Structure 1
Amino acid sequence: MVHSRSQGGRKLRVAGIRTAWRVVGDGEFYCPGCGGDRCYQQLAGRRRLAVLGVPLLSRGAADPVAECASCRDHFPVAALAQPTTVRLAALLRDAVHAIALALLAAGGDESGPALETAVDTVRGAGFPDCSEDQLLTLLAALKAGGPAEPEQELRACLTPLAPHLAGPGRENLLLEGARIALTNGHYSDAERDMLSVIGGSLGLAPEETDRLLTAAMPT
């Protein structure tokens, strides 16, 4: 950047790089600057050498950015990968729902205390209208897809969510499943295997999963 000094002693910009932005997309994102859900515009830009405010020579493309509609700050487009708080809440609800169904499928207990605990867990996660009949209908549809379907559905819900959760959040999801499995006081082999799948899908080390499951058992 080149400056010259005016007669009043104030520096004036003679030459510098300017970026001309254009909007290529928009939506809603979690703004790192505001700390909440905001609208954004995705911008693509071209850099040019400007002399006395007049753009002259091209200096190539600028890195694309996301501009927050509220604070007007620019962020790398990687910020768009962070789910909004609304989206994160929905992912968490779906994760608990999938965990409850997976544990019911693994335990083979489609009635009684385990089903009641599963319903209470799903309701507490954000589905207040969940009923035993609804869970049983979904469980039957899940099992109709084959013995591997519950595990596949579980991984599909948990794997995209895990990177956005801190350690305590991932541990709490595992313990939601443990509470359903421990309704009868112990883990069956199938339930333990399914809980290991949950821990692995959430990015928990096997020894950490084992520690949490052991600690959750009644004394």
Structure 2
Amino acid sequence: MRPAKGQRAIGLRMYGIRTVWDTVGDGEFFCPGCGGDRNYRRLSGRRRLTVLGLPLWARGSAGPVVECAACRDHFPVDTLDHPTTTRFSAMLREAVHTVALAVLAAGGTTSRTVLETAAATVRDAGLDDCTQEQLFTIAEVLAADTGPDGTGPGAEACSAALAIELHEALGPLAPHLAVAGRESVLLQGARIALADGPYGQAEREVLATVGSALRIRPDDTTRLLAAAARTPS
């Protein structure tokens, strides 16, 4: 015999599953629900069968999840892989600064125009106090073991060190940039290299490394660099 409608409703109130959440961590993250930086709690849950509202028997685990302190929504833990807006801005500034230094180290720092272009590019990225003198000093240190044409005894080691620096600065940023954003970072480096004339061989190699670190296909990197060279400054 089927229970009456009222009996079914009573049954639903008598039995149920409740999840008890425990906080296992906290911090700041970019909330997909709020669309901004928020505090979060990382939660681990335990499901319990309840009778008359009392938790009695364990029914397995739940989560872990991330709970936004503002909207209280729950999100997968991999949401924490997305940088906060503050961290993202810092990563972008660091990326442009590293690209500028790598291009300067590869192409030399004897051109005032190149230094002016590099400093302006870095300041536009958010490092307002960057000066030509600062870039000159750091770039000279990076290129100290190479010859004037980038073929000295330390050139290979310097090139490898620059490649490592570029991948460390650009690799974590690339997944969070749209295609246009990744191309923009590459083109900023290209404009610095072109400030004193056509690309040198060392500059081309550095910019190819920039494209690789930004997950831009080699053919697209070549196309973008060629287009930048044809564009009047």
TM-score normalised over the length of structure 2: 0.86
Distance 1:14 1:110, change over 3 A: farther
Whether the 8 Å CA contact 1:177–1:195 is kept in 2: the answer is yes
State the AA in 1 paired with 2:133: D
In the alignment, structure 1 segments of 5+ residues that lack a partner are none
Secondary structure of 2:38's counterpart equals strand
Aligned residues: 217
Whether the 8 Å CA contact 1:31–1:68 is kept in 2: the answer is yes
Matched, 1:56 2:56: yes
Secondary structure of 1:13's counterpart equals helix
**CA-to-aligned-CA distance 1:47-86 (integer Å, 9 cap, x gap):** 1111221111112221211100111000011001100111
188, 193, 212: which one pairs with 2:205? 193
Whether the 8 Å CA contact 1:22–1:44 is kept in 2: the answer is yes
State the AA in 2 paired with 1:13: R
- 2: CA distance, partners of 1:111 / 1:154: 23
TM-score normalised over the length of structure 1: 0.92
Equivalent residue for 2:172?
Answer: 160
- 1: CA distance, partners of 2:143 / 2:108: 11
Shift of 1:18: 1.2
Equivalent residue for 2:138?
Answer: 138
Please give the root-mean-square deviation of Cα atoms over the aligned residues, in Å.
2.1
% identical equivalent positions: 57
Equivalent residue for 1:42?
Answer: 42
Distance 1:49 1:90, change over 3 A: same
In the alignment, structure 2 segments of 5+ residues that lack a partner are 146-156
Shift of 1:88: 0.4
Whether the 8 Å CA contact 1:5–1:11 is kept in 2: the answer is no
**CA-to-aligned-CA distance 1:194-217 (integer Å, 9 cap, x gap):** 111111100111111111111111
Matches within 5 A, 1:48-197: 48-143=48-143, 146-147=157-158, 148-197=160-209
Shift of 1:192: 0.8
Select between 174-183 and 9-18 the one with higher mean Cα deviation.
9-18
Equivalent residue for 1:210?
Answer: 222
Whether the 8 Å CA contact 1:4–1:11 is kept in 2: the answer is no
Q: Could you say which structure has the higher strand fraction?
A: 1
